[in-house]
Amino acid sequence: MITWGISANSHDAALAVFSDDGLEFASHSERFSGVKNDAHLNDKLIEYAKKWGEPDEVIWYERPFVKTLRQLRAGQGFKYLGKNNISKYLGSYGISAPIRYTDHHLAHAAAGYYTGPFTEASVVVIDSIGEFDTLTIWNASEEKGLRRIYSQQYPHSIGLWYSAFTQRIGLKPQEDEYILMGMAAYGDPLRFFDEIMKEFIYVVDQDSSPRIKFKHNLHRGCLWWRPELNTPQDLMDIAAAVQAIYAYLLKVVSNWARWKSPSGNLVLMGGCALNCAANSTIYKDWNNVWIMPNPGDAGSSIGAVLAHKKEFMPMDHVYTGYEIEGEYPVEEVLHELLTTGICGVANGRAEFGPRALGHRSLLADPRGADIKDRVNNIKQRQLFRPFAPAVLEEHAATYFDGPTGPFMQYTSTCKDPGLPAITHGDGTSRVQAVSANQSMGFRKLLERWYEETGCPVLLNTSLNIKGKPIVNNLTDAKEFANMYGVKVFTHGN
Ligand SMILES: [Fe+2]
């Protein structure tokens, strides 16, 4: 029995393939089409997914009829009626298997709960919008499954508000939220904190409920708010205030969920769970925390299926995408890093999620003052943005103070002043702690790097051409190498 989970037709489409043995494949559509954050499926992705056979059924990640009702209520008229015909949409890609549907927030919750390590947990889902839900809290147990205990609905949405401000500071909403988070480290959070709170938000009785109301419908953004504030420092200060307010709102929600939680285990999901800086601020309030490595809508391609299967599928790695065959080029990469300090690696199965975690990575020696500029010259991105470190798990606590994990989901304070390339303006790093449970090849590379240099840390950033998705196949890897004159190793000898 082959089941496909699909999240598409909105933004950042993804497809997951399950056989009777479990998850066989999951990938973002963009990696196959070459279009960043591609909202739609494409023939190459579908052809690759059929390596495991034709689908016997498809599970869609939300309920299109309910979504249409919300779009009507939001004043968007009937223009989406045709777009929300999923059977017609899938038919246009030659997919004719029977379709089942899942609630948008249930797909998020299931993606988190069933891939995590807890049989009992509180599940918090925060995103922009599903059908109507924008924030849900669930109690989950093996006997009773996922039970929703709180739900907040459109137009009151923490995610929409954060995206509206992403647009307000000149970035792309529903895509560049992570850049706002990065800018926040360079601003003064106090300058606009009170003003934005007063204009946009009120928290209703936070002791008895996590109800967070918004005074404006932010579906069409907030470009109208203080348009005269547009110097670079203004924008950094706005970003800092928005990030600080988000951290406060997350705390309100987390505190309430914690109060209602018999287990003290938190599963955090939804696009807002990608906010690694805020994630770190609630980490200590819980006994244990699990964030699925792809907690946004793309991860719901897996969640939609798990919501129906109701089976645990602990996810200890994210290497579920397109495969570049061959041995991991440990010695080749090591030699290049020791010689030039920078190279790419594209080997094994591609990562499912927004982070490159060693299978489609641009790697560099993190030591010294000039490496950040050298990598930035290749990546051509805003100079304030730091790069992330990958560290041997057993050395993580020596170099970083705070939560770390295998998927770059938290920030922690970097204790080594000799690593400015992987340290942000506020002194933190978004750490990937690499254990032997994840990629054998990448782990071996870090071990060899440590043996040769005494440094257990590598700079690890995604291998992608500016404006394009992360490299997927050999052709993409060659294109990257040719464009930037950087060696990319795809297999060992
Ligand atoms: Fe969502």
pLDDT > 70? residue 77 = no
Q: For residue 161, how far is its CA from the centre of ligand 1 (angstroms)?
A: 14
Q: What is the pLDDT of residue 382?
A: 76
Tens digits of per-residue pLDDT, 466-475?
A: 899 999 999 9
Per the CB < 8 A criterion, the answer to whether 446 and 434 are in contact is yes
Q: For residue 78, how far is its CA from the centre of ligand 1 (angstroms)?
A: 22
pLDDT > 70? residue 206 = no
From 75, 44, 251, select the one nearest 154 (Cα to Cα): 75
Q: What is the pLDDT of residue 9?
A: 94
From 84, 31, 28, select the one nearest 60 (Cα to Cα): 84
Q: What is the mean pLDDT of residues 90-104?
A: 97
Joined tokens for residue 278: 């805020």
Q: For residue 489, how far is its CA from the centre of ligand 1 (angstroms)?
A: 36
Strand positions, DSSP E, 53-158: 57-60, 99-101, 121-126, 133-141, 145-153
Separation of alpha carbons 25 and 48, rounded Å: 9
Lowest mean pLDDT among 16-30, 222-236, 263-277, 373-387: 373-387
- Confidence label for 369 from pLDDT (cuts 50, 70 and 90): confident
Q: Is 384 exposed, middle or buried (0-12, 13-18, 19+ CB in 10 A)?
A: middle
Q: For residue 377, how far is its CA from the centre of ligand 1 (angstroms)?
A: 34
Residue 259 identity: W
Q: For residue 90, how far is its CA from the centre of ligand 1 (angstroms)?
A: 20
Exposure string for 110-145, b = 16+ CB within 10 A, e = fewer = bbbbbbbebebbbbbbbbbbbbbbbbbbbbbeeeee
Beta bridge partners of 323: 349
Exposure string for 313-331, b = 16+ CB within 10 A, e = fewer = eebebbbbbbbbeeebbbe
Q: What is the mean pLDDT of residues 200-224?
A: 85
Joined tokens for residue 310: 């109701």
Per the CB < 8 A criterion, the answer to whether 329 and 363 are in contact is no
- Confidence label for 83 from pLDDT (cuts 50, 70 and 90): confident
Place of tokens 């059924």: 57
Tens digits of per-residue pLDDT, 103-150?
A: 999 999 999 999 999 999 999 999 999 899 999 999 999 999 999 999
Q: What is the mean pLDDT of residues 267-293?
A: 97
Q: For residue 62, how far is its CA from the centre of ligand 1 (angstroms)?
A: 9
Q: What is the pLDDT of residue 439?
A: 87
Angle of helix 232-259 relative to helix 189-200, nearest 10 degrees, comes to 60
Q: For residue 89, how far is its CA from the centre of ligand 1 (angstroms)?
A: 20
Q: What is the mean pLDDT of the chain?
A: 94
pLDDT > 80? residue 36 = yes
Q: What is the mean pLDDT of residues 152-180?
A: 94
Q: For residue 83, how far is its CA from the centre of ligand 1 (angstroms)?
A: 18
Q: What is the pLDDT of residue 220?
A: 86
Per the CB < 8 A criterion, the answer to whether 121 and 140 are in contact is yes
User: Got the DSSP string for 146-170?
Assistant: EEEEEEEETT--HHHHHHHHHHHTT
Instruction: Specify the 3-state DSSP secondary structure of 470.
Output: coil
- pTM for this model (two decimals): 0.95
Separation of alpha carbons 270 and 283, rounded Å: 17
Separation of alpha carbons 366 and 419, rounded Å: 6
Separation of alpha carbons 8 and 24, rounded Å: 19
Dihedral (CA of 116, 26, 42, 162) sign: positive
Separation of alpha carbons 182 and 179, rounded Å: 5
Cβ contacts of 114 within 8 Å, gap of 6 or more: 303, 306, 309, 310, 311, 312, 313
- Confidence label for 414 from pLDDT (cuts 50, 70 and 90): very high
Beta-strand pair 342-346/488-489: parallel
Q: For residue 2, how far is its CA from the centre of ligand 1 (angstroms)?
A: 25
Q: For residue 180, how far is its CA from the centre of ligand 1 (angstroms)?
A: 19
Q: For residue 442, how far is its CA from the centre of ligand 1 (angstroms)?
A: 31
Instruction: Specify the 3-state DSSP secondary structure of 259.
Output: helix
Cα angle value 6/12/17 (rounded, 5°)? 30
Residue 263 identity: S
Q: What is the pLDDT of residue 292?
A: 98
Q: For residue 70, how far is its CA from the centre of ligand 1 (angstroms)?
A: 14
Separation of alpha carbons 427 and 413, rounded Å: 6
Per the CB < 8 A criterion, the answer to whether 432 and 357 are in contact is yes
Q: For residue 103, how far is its CA from the centre of ligand 1 (angstroms)?
A: 10
Q: What is the pLDDT of residue 207?
A: 65
- 228: number of Cβ within 10 Å: 6
Q: For residue 271, how far is its CA from the centre of ligand 1 (angstroms)?
A: 6
Joined tokens for residue 68: 């249409």
Beta-strand pair 348-351/121-126: unpaired
Cβ contacts of 119 within 8 Å, gap of 6 or more: 141, 142, 312
pLDDT > 80? residue 300 = yes
Place of tokens 């795809």: 490
Q: For residue 14, how far is its CA from the centre of ligand 1 (angstroms)?
A: 13
Q: For residue 297, how far is its CA from the centre of ligand 1 (angstroms)?
A: 5
Separation of alpha carbons 19 and 25, rounded Å: 10
Q: For residue 152, how far is its CA from the centre of ligand 1 (angstroms)?
A: 13
Cα angle value 221/224/230 (rounded, 5°)? 100
Per the CB < 8 A criterion, the answer to whether 421 and 372 are in contact is yes
Instruction: Specify the 3-state DSSP secondary structure of 177.
Output: helix
DSSP character for 343? E
Q: For residue 61, how far is its CA from the centre of ligand 1 (angstroms)?
A: 9
Q: For residue 5, how far is its CA from the centre of ligand 1 (angstroms)?
A: 15
Q: What is the pLDDT of residue 76?
A: 74
Q: For residue 20, how far is its CA from the centre of ligand 1 (angstroms)?
A: 27
Beta-strand pair 265-269/319-324: unpaired
Residue 87 identity: S
Q: For residue 112, how far is its CA from the centre of ligand 1 (angstroms)?
A: 12
Q: For residue 270, how far is its CA from the centre of ligand 1 (angstroms)?
A: 5
Per the CB < 8 A criterion, the answer to whether 472 and 324 are in contact is no
What's CA 124's distance to the chain center, in Å?
15
H or E element that contains 14? strand 14-19
